[in-house]
């Protein structure tokens, strides 16, 4: 089954739509309700704050998580003080090696993506790999929810609806918890998109989000 709602203007609209859809139409799957093979777009990724009365989303925490990813530091002891869920994912050294920043900072992936986009404007090779099969044994407590992030510069106004070239981004996920994960993930990914666009001196384009399993844990369902 494919669940596609083509277009949202902002992240909050996407969250609110899929919360209701999962709660009312989702399948029982382990301790969640879930939809499978979900894809959608966010036309203005920089409208990345979540507005929902039952989900008290905290931008201060989201910014802290973004800065942690930027650091490339796998140690999660500081971030866990603000979000204890990270304690469950730590290894014996206090590290979470599935965290996105640790993955994308290795081997200078961001710099290499930017170099590709600067050199070949229509490249299909500007991708960041998050999941590393060679490290499967280090994912004992957590496996990266995101497989990869791909960036494309689009110039055709018929495709983009924009006057100027824009950096589009596609996020590919094996699994995405709408309540916890999506709210903070989309914030960090949109900030990554903005950072790369600024380094390329072009506009931020569309955010494409694909999740094989988009779910809400049963204890967060309000319906």
Domains identified in the chain and CATH numbers: 3-53+107-220 (3.30.572.10)
Q: What's the chain's Rg over C-alpha atoms?
A: 17
194 burial level (CB within 10 Å; 0-12, 13-18, 19+): middle
For residues 63-82, average pLDDT: 96
| Percentage, residues of the chain above pLDDT 90 | 77
pTM of the entire predicted model: 0.93
The dihedral through the CA atoms of 133, 138, 144, 149 has a sign that is negative
Length of the chain: 223
* Helix (H) and strand (E) counts in the chain: 7, 8
Which ranges constitute the DSSP H helices of 29-108? 59-71, 77-80, 100-105
Flag whether pLDDT at 206 surpasses 70.
yes
pLDDT at 189: 98
Could you say which DSSP state residue 56 is in?
-
The pLDDT tens digits for 95-129 are 998 889 998 998 899 999 999 999 998 999 999 99
| Percentage, residues of the chain above pLDDT 70 | 93
pLDDT at 163: 78
pLDDT grade for 162, boundaries at 50, 70 and 90:
confident
Flag whether pLDDT at 140 surpasses 80.
no
pLDDT grade for 14, boundaries at 50, 70 and 90:
very high
- The three-point CA angle 42-46-47 to 5° equals 75
Q: Is 10 helix (H, G, I), strand (E, B) or coil?
A: coil
Residue 187, number of CB atoms within 10 A of its CB: 22
Flag whether pLDDT at 132 surpasses 70.
yes
């Amino acid at each position: 089954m494919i669940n596609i709602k083509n277009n949202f203007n902002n992240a909050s609209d996407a969250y609110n739509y899929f919360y209701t859809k999962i709660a009312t139409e989702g399948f029982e799957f382990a301790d969640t309700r879930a939809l499978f093979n979900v894809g959608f777009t966010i036309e203005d990724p920089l409208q990345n704050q979540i507005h929902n009365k039952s989900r008290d989303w905290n931008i201060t925490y989201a910014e802290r998580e973004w800065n942690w990813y930027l650091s490339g530091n796998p140690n999660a002891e500081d971030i866990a003080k603000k979000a204890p869920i990270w304690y469950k994912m730590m290894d014996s050294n206090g590290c979470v090696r599935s965290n996105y920043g640790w993955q994308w900072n290795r081997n200078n992936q961001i710099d290499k993506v930017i170099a590709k986009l600067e050199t070949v404007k229509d490249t299909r090779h500007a991708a960041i790999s998050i999941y590393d099969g060679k490290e499967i044994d280090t994912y004992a407590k957590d496996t990266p929810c995101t497989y990869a992030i791909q960036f494309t510069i689009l110039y055709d106004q018929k495709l983009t609806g924009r006057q100027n070239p824009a950096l589009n981004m596609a996020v590919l996920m094996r699994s995405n918890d709408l309540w916890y994960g999506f709210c903070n993930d989309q914030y960090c990914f949109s900030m990554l998109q903005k950072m790369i666009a600024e380094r390329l001196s072009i506009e931020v384009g569309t955010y494409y989000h694909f999740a094989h399993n988009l779910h809400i844990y049963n204890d967060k369902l309000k319906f």
